[in-house]
Amino acid sequence: MKTSLLTGSALALATVLALTACGGSAQSSPEATTATCPNGEIKFGIEPYEDPAKLKPAYDVLAAALSKKLECPVSVQVVEDYAAEVLAMRNGKLDLGQFGPLGYVFADTKAGAEPLVSFGTAEKELSSYTAGIWVPKDSPIQEIGDLKGKSLALGSVGSTSGDVLPRFGLREAGIADADIKMDYTGGHPEALLALTNGKVDAAEINSQTLATASAAGTFTPDNFRQVWTSDPIPNDPITVRGDADPAFKAAVKDAFLSLDPTDVAKVGEFLDVTPPGPLLAVTKDNYTPLFELAETMGLTEKDL
């Protein structure tokens, strides 16, 4: 939550954005139009909500399908952190960006990001997930109010389910930030690992990480207990830069909406959308609760 974090992100971002050739995509065809391929390449940024080495191959599949639809190469970039993606879009270094729901709030206010689509279920309904706090099964902690004076592993600063919502839950339970030892581990998998290794009394584990880790055999829910869960959170929006050409925005949205569920299935696994459905159109209104949360918690872009 320090200003220096944003500065550090900007420095790290320069390295990340230099690697624009790393995206998996199809080659542009002679028929590619200015509307669908205005700069010869579409740069698509992803927040690091999971191990980047795992995220990249999944998004390369989605990018290849999008490239084919638009007849334009799509380069996937897993950015350094939440602040870096907002900064990149604000500076015109990203054409598209998938933001966590709270990250989108700041991408809207600071970079003019416009939501296009999010991830649908097999029933063609918008998907959601929940934040959670877990403790060992034999822990004396029975509810969130028992965490006062204890240690809590969180994910990354600015994360919707890995930071802000757990702190909101603590506030509602009458526990101030100063009343608990908060350990920012760097990500959702790292927070889970801190709990399983006995490094903390409790940890945030959202439903997406829970599903991924359980399927991979790295987490056994029966050995732990959930003491708090949030209301459902609308899943990540994929956004477009606000100052992009309207024809480009329309073309990209149409392309996303026409993708087959198999094109987004690998990404859907990380978002606990299994079996996958199609991408579905979203607007700013779908994320109103997150704008309200940011206001309630008094958050600014410095909190990313």
pLDDT per residue, tens digit, the chain (304 aa), is 333 333 344 334 344 334 333 444 444 444 446 788 988 999 999 998 888 999 999 999 999 999 999 999 999 999 988 889 999 999 999 999 999 999 999 999 999 999 999 999 999 999 999 999 999 999 999 999 999 999 999 999 889 999 999 999 999 999 999 999 999 999 999 999 999 999 999 999 999 999 999 999 999 999 999 999 999 999 999 999 999 999 999 999 999 999 999 999 999 999 999 899 999 999 999 999 999 999 999 988 777 6
Which pTM was predicted? 0.82
Q: What is the pLDDT of residue 75?
A: 97
For the chain, which residues make up each domain, given as ranges? 3-122+236-303, 131-230
> At which residue do the structure tokens 């997150």 appear?
290
Longest dimension (CA), the chain: 66
> 82: how many CB neighbours lie within 10 A of its CB?
29
Q: Specify the CATH number for 131-230; select among 3.40.50.720, 3.40.1190.20, 3.40.190.10, 3.30.2290.10.
A: 3.40.190.10
User: Tokens standing for 110?
Assistant: 């600071």
**SS3 call for 87:** helix
Residue 155 to residue 60: CA distance in whole angstroms: 25
Q: Specify the CATH number for 3-122+236-303; select among 3.40.190.10, 3.40.50.150, 3.40.50.300, 3.90.850.10.
A: 3.40.190.10
Q: What is the pLDDT of residue 302?
A: 72
